[in-house]
Amino acid sequence: MQDFKKLPTVLTADELVDKVFRRAARAEGRTPKEKALNKLSTISNVSRDYFKKIITSHPSYENLPEFYREMVDVVVGIRNLKKALAALKWADGMIQRVISKGVREIKGGKNPSVVVRATYGRVASIIEQIDDELRFLNDAKNRMREIPLLLDIPTVVVAGYPNVGKSSLVSIISTVKPEVASYPFTTKKINVGFSDFGGRRVQIIDTPGLLDRPLSKRNRIERRAVLALKHLADVILFVIDPTETCGYALEKQLSLLGEIRTYFKRPTIEVYSKADMHSLGDRISYSAISGEGVERVVKEIEKKLEEVYSQTSTVIAPSGQTSTQEQHS
Ligand SMILES: Nc1nc2c(ncn2[C@@H]2O[C@H](COP(=O)(O)OP(=O)(O)OP(=O)(O)O)[C@@H](O)[C@H]2O)c(=O)[nH]1
Ligand SMILES: [Mg+2]
């Protein structure tokens, strides 16, 4: 599994030029010629190592599991990432050529300090040419940190319109405590928490709110929720706010529910939030404020997950370690 939190910080062009030349300045030599050659080989090594570190910190995006690949694409764009990494490879190759030329010139008898100065200028100009790409890669690293590490265990994805109470519920029934606020699109990324339901470990995913509109019209925040539903959900928990205090009509919420059922074809649980504000009885109702009904929601999740468990079950051992048992029925 890919841990994007381990991607390294990427220096700007100015910072990288500084790093390379500072290291080169420390190069020693018994003669001016030897010292100049050592400076050039230091530039060659330091820049090559640096580019290699950044390039190899990225996985091969084609080979990532689909969820991660599509998530990286939504969060930063794989084409842009590849273009930026290719620019680093280009700069690496160019710098090596410029250094080789300098080395040849010094060995051929040209004035070492003149060659070194000219080579420094060329190297700095090559690095400056990839400043945008270096900055992009650092920004991408920061954004990719939001992509969580997921476990291959039974997973419940909590979805619904914005502001209906998804995060409030997830925060009660799992380990993750997402931000809750009284306005839509508070949750902008997917949050992963865990629960032990009847001694079994379950992954609970809080998602950004979805509006009832075609996929092509969905913004990048909504598309994170779609990816979680598409790739991760064994069970979907759809939260409906019948009080409409979320700011969206019940009819719209039910239309989204219909689409999610049709499109994702997963076992789906429908619940009403904000039971402290209504007394409807046609669906399971719960309140994140008073806690009433939450236990019924959990029971319903457990029931739906039984289907998933009948294929694979993860049991918490008495030691606290988890082990996965395959059950063939
Ligand atoms: N009265 C009442 N208010 C609730 C309940 N659950 C959530 N709220 C309130 O509804 C608002 C939205 O709650 P969130 O949990 O942030 O909703 P969300 O669905 O995660 O919202 P987004 O992340 O924006 O999609 C907050 O002001 C909560 O305090 C509930 O059961 N009863
Ligand atoms: Mg939320």
| Helices assigned H by DSSP within the chain | 13-25, 32-57, 66-75, 78-107, 112-129, 131-144, 166-173, 220-231, 250-264, 294-309
How many angstroms separate the Cα of 28 from the Cα of each of 24, 42, 75, 107, 183?
A: 9, 10, 46, 17, 62
Domain edges within the chain: 4-144, 155-326
The sign of the dihedral angle between the CA atoms of 302, 304, 309, 312 is negative
CB contact set of 24 (below 8 Å; sequence gap of 6+): 39, 40, 42, 43, 46, 120
Q: How far apart are alpha carbons 48 and 93 in whole angstroms? A: 9
Closest ligand to the CA of 241: 1
Compute the distance from residue 200 Cα to the ligand 1 centre, in Å.
27
- Cα distance from N-terminal residue to C-terminal residue, the chain: 28
Ligand 1, CB cutoff 6 Å, lining residues: 162-168, 180-182, 184-187, 208-209, 273-274, 276-277, 287-289
Neighbours of ion ligand 2 (CB under 5 A): 166-167, 186-187
What pLDDT, on a 0 to 100 scale, did the predictor assign at position 326?
42
Q: How far apart are alpha carbons 260 and 152 in whole angstroms? A: 22
Token pair belonging to 305: 């997950």
**Topology adopted by domain 4-144:** Four Helix Bundle (Hemerythrin (Met), subunit A) (1.20.120)
Closest ligand to the CA of 164: 1
What pLDDT, on a 0 to 100 scale, did the predictor assign at position 312?
56
Which tens digit of pLDDT belongs to each residue from 267-315? 999 999 999 999 999 999 999 999 999 999 999 999 999 877 776 555 5
What pLDDT, on a 0 to 100 scale, did the predictor assign at position 311?
63
Q: What is the CATH number of domain 155-326?
A: 3.40.50.300
What pLDDT, on a 0 to 100 scale, did the predictor assign at position 328?
42
Ranges of the chain with pLDDT below 70: 1, 311-329
Which tens digit of pLDDT belongs to each residue from 213-259? 988 899 999 999 999 999 999 999 999 999 999 999 999 999 999 99
Ligand 1 pocket test, pick from 177, 180, 294 with the greatest ligand atom count within 8 Å of Cβ, gives 180
What pLDDT, on a 0 to 100 scale, did the predictor assign at position 20?
98
Strands 312-316 and 322-326, bridge-based pairing: antiparallel
Q: Kindly report the pTM of this predicted structure.
A: 0.88
